[in-house]
Structure 1
Amino acid sequence: MSKLGENSLFSQEQLRKMLYDMLLIRRFEEKVEQLFQQGKIHGTMHLCIGQEATAVGACAVLTNEDKIISTHRGHGHCIAKGTEVDRMMAELLGKVTGYCKGKGGSMHIADLDKGNLGANGIVAGGLPLATGAALTSKMKELGYVVVCFFGDGSTNEGAFHESLNLASVWNLPVIFFCENNQYGMSGSIKEMTNIQHIAERAASYGIPGEIVDGNDLLEVTEVTKKAVERARNGKGPTLIEAKTYRWRGHSRSDARKYRTRDEEKEWKTKDPIELFKNKLIEENILTEAAFLEIEEQVKKEIEAAVEFAENSPIPGEETLETDIFA
């Protein structure tokens, strides 16, 4: 893991907050998994447990005005960009106090006030939207940068190639952030792509391609900061490939028969939360007692979110035809 020191991008308080946010994502995902199993959340569920460092690390270098676009596995991105967990929980439980008034669910949370342009249930669906948002920023001279999160499975979709090509040709302020968790649904990336690194594809579009350890929070922040500064200075897009791993299946119906339990155990030794926690303790920025306090604060925030969601009303029949385009 990258070395901390006096020249760190972040204060000690900010570093502890980043640990808090990663733990908040982990506990949120564990709680919604439990609620799903209890039948309180309907539809499907795509959990990002194990990938917390990519979301927190990338969003840590963004301003409130900068934008993100998320994926079907997007709870972590939302939380890292400042979206409130109580309204997220309400959305998952289908309540009117949710971000989309209970109509969007897990894959469609958006928070425009925090620059979160929304999650997307379509594989690679966010890439053209991010390119369009970046074009808006450039044409209107708004100054914001867009970070587009997507999985390795998206990189074989036409929208990926079209978006990177246009963003490169038009020199747009967008960072294409690929969370390579090794599997596109049930297929290994090794079976789907005949190159070693997805970031190599950046060369085809004349833009930088960066490979980062997606479980190393500090490495993610450093690489993303460089890409954000490049975009903000009018030098165009960057493709970042963060190598990470999802601990759970693709969705709640996935038994993970396509990979071994030994592989999962190996990746869990690279737990991004434990790695960062140990780093902060090693450098006297955190104590075990302080970490226990963080855990207790996170627990209380999640409990309050569940209470808020469960006590919120469900949408009435009169809302059936509201907030729709057709």
Structure 2
Amino acid sequence: MNPQTPPSPEPSLDPPTVPLLELYRRMCLSRRMDETLPRLVAEGLVRGPMHLGVGQEAVGIGATAALRRGDIVTGTHRPHSLYVGLGLPLGPTFAEMMGRADGQCRGRGGHMLVGDREHGLLGPSGIVGHSLLLAVGHGTAQRRAADARVTLCMTGDGSVNSGAFNEALNMMALWRLPVVVLVENNGYGLSVRLDRHVRETALHRRAAGFGMPGRQVDGGDPEAVRDAVAQAAERAREGDGPTLVEAVTFRDSAFSGSDRGGYRPDEEWEGYVDPLERAEARLRERGVSAEAVAGAAADAARRIADAVDFAEASPWPDPEELLAYAAAWDEGGAR
């Protein structure tokens, strides 16, 4: 018998009130997910290139905490914190990563292409800059509907010189689309350091050229990211158009499983503090008990273990249903 699908965090209806302890718990879930996935890859249970987000959890978790039900998110090839922050059910999410029938896409998407309409996740992509183009489409539909929904578009510093980035931001600004563009700036596009492919490394300053506001935020602080995205989202809901938010973060993991390393100088690690440790220290400063903090971490470990059990017990997809399911998804009937 399959174990019950473990519960998952729900997106907030009042974003700024998501407390730090809950943000920390979600960050622990994302971290434990990324600690578990390499083992599943080694065991052959998850296949394909693996892009972990160790060190970047505060960005995705903080940003999704600023959203409301009905908002839409487009993601990149490093989307695991979005899965957790949006409240995707973890059992089916791991099942999708393993290519099993109980996954959100019936095992067709894999680890970085999970789509979940119910939770607002539409369009993670391994194509650099692709999330920006999808965001233009979603933002256009939201503007026409005039229903105060927004699109959060996640992209990376490696996309900022692409045609997709510049064309998309131009159209977002010109049409005053309700989009928040959040650049995860971890300082490297694969192995190329930021200052070797852009002259101006403060990427939020590019916003001025498109006639939109831009701001930079500490990407290791989930509360700072949450508040910046919440303010940008509120501006978008009021019809004032897009905002560019740059979250400066640190990738404490390889670019992918094929990363040979050797391109990051040792001094870059000086002063780096793990975002989970930062959040834990802040919680203790605010009087949260050590038991509550430890309980959040233990809860994350249990939920991830339960999700893996669920996924391993899930059956393989029926090959005969492949085309029928794809057609149903395109027609809006797949669930």
Shared fold, TM over 0.5: yes
Question: What's the TM-score, normalizing by structure 1?
Answer: 0.93
Mind listing any 5+ residue stretches in structure 2 that lack a counterpart?
1-14, 331-335
Aligned counterpart, 1:212: 217
> 1:123 Cα deviation (Å)?
0.5
Amino acid at match of 1:129: L
Q: Which residue of 2 aligns with 1:129?
A: 134
TM superposition shift of 1:321:
2.6
- 1:21 deviates by 0.3
Shift of 1:262: 4.3
- Pairs within 5 Å for 1:202-241: 202-241=207-246
Contact kept in structure 2, 1:131 and 1:172, CA below 8 Å: yes
Do the aligned partners of 2:16 and 2:230 also contact (CA within 8 Å) in 1? no
Shift, 1:261, TM fit: 4.1
Structure-1 residue corresponding to 2:324: 322
- Name the CA distance, whole Å, in 1 between partners of 2:310 and 2:265: 39
Decide which of 156, 161, 182 is 1:177's aligned counterpart: 182
- 4+ long deviations beyond 2 Å: 8-11, 260-263, 319-326
Unaligned runs of 5+ in 1: 1-7
Q: CA contact under 8 A between 2:123 and 2:134: conserved in structure 1?
A: no
Residue deviations 1:179-198, cap 9 Å, x none? 00111111111101111311
- Specify the alignment match of 2:333 in structure 1: none
2:274 corresponds to 1:280: no
Which residue does 1:186 correspond to in 2?
191
Greater displacement, 75-84 / 179-188: 75-84
Distance (whole Å) between structure 2 residues aligned to residue 320 and residue 88 of structure 1: 19
Secondary structure of the corresponding residue to residue 220 of structure 2: coil
> What is the distance in 2 between the residues matched to 1:99 and 1:106?
11
Following superposition, the deviation at residue 297 of structure 1 comes to: 1.1
User: Partner amino acid for 1:236?
Assistant: G
Cα shift at 1:306: 0.5
- Partners of 2:250 and 2:239 lie apart in 1 by 33
The one-letter code sitting in structure 2 at the alignment partner of 1:147 is L
Percent of aligned pairs sharing the same letter: 38
Contact 1:149 1:179 in 2 (8 A): yes
Q: Which residue of 2 aligns with 1:301?
A: 303
Query: Which residue identity lines up with residue 306 of structure 1 in the other structure?
Result: V
User: Which residue is equivalent to 1:4?
Assistant: none
8 Å Cα contact 1:111/1:118 also seen in 2: no
- Which amino acid letter does the alignment assign opposite residue 151 of structure 2? V
Task: Trace 1:1-326 onto structure 2 (pairs within 5 A).
Answer: 9-10=16-17, 14-263=19-268, 265-266=269-270, 269-284=272-287, 286-324=288-326
TM-score (norm 2): 0.90
CA contact (8 A) 2:194 2:201 kept: no
C-alpha change, 1:262 and 1:196, in structure 2 (3 Å) is closer
Secondary structure at 1:308 match in 2: helix
Q: Distance in 2 between matches of 1:34 and 1:289?
A: 29
Query: What is the letter of the counterpart of residue 21 of structure 2?
Result: R
Counterparts of 2:191 and 2:281 in 1: how far apart (Å)?
A: 32
> In the aligned structure 2, how far is the partner of 1:219 from the partner of 1:17?
15
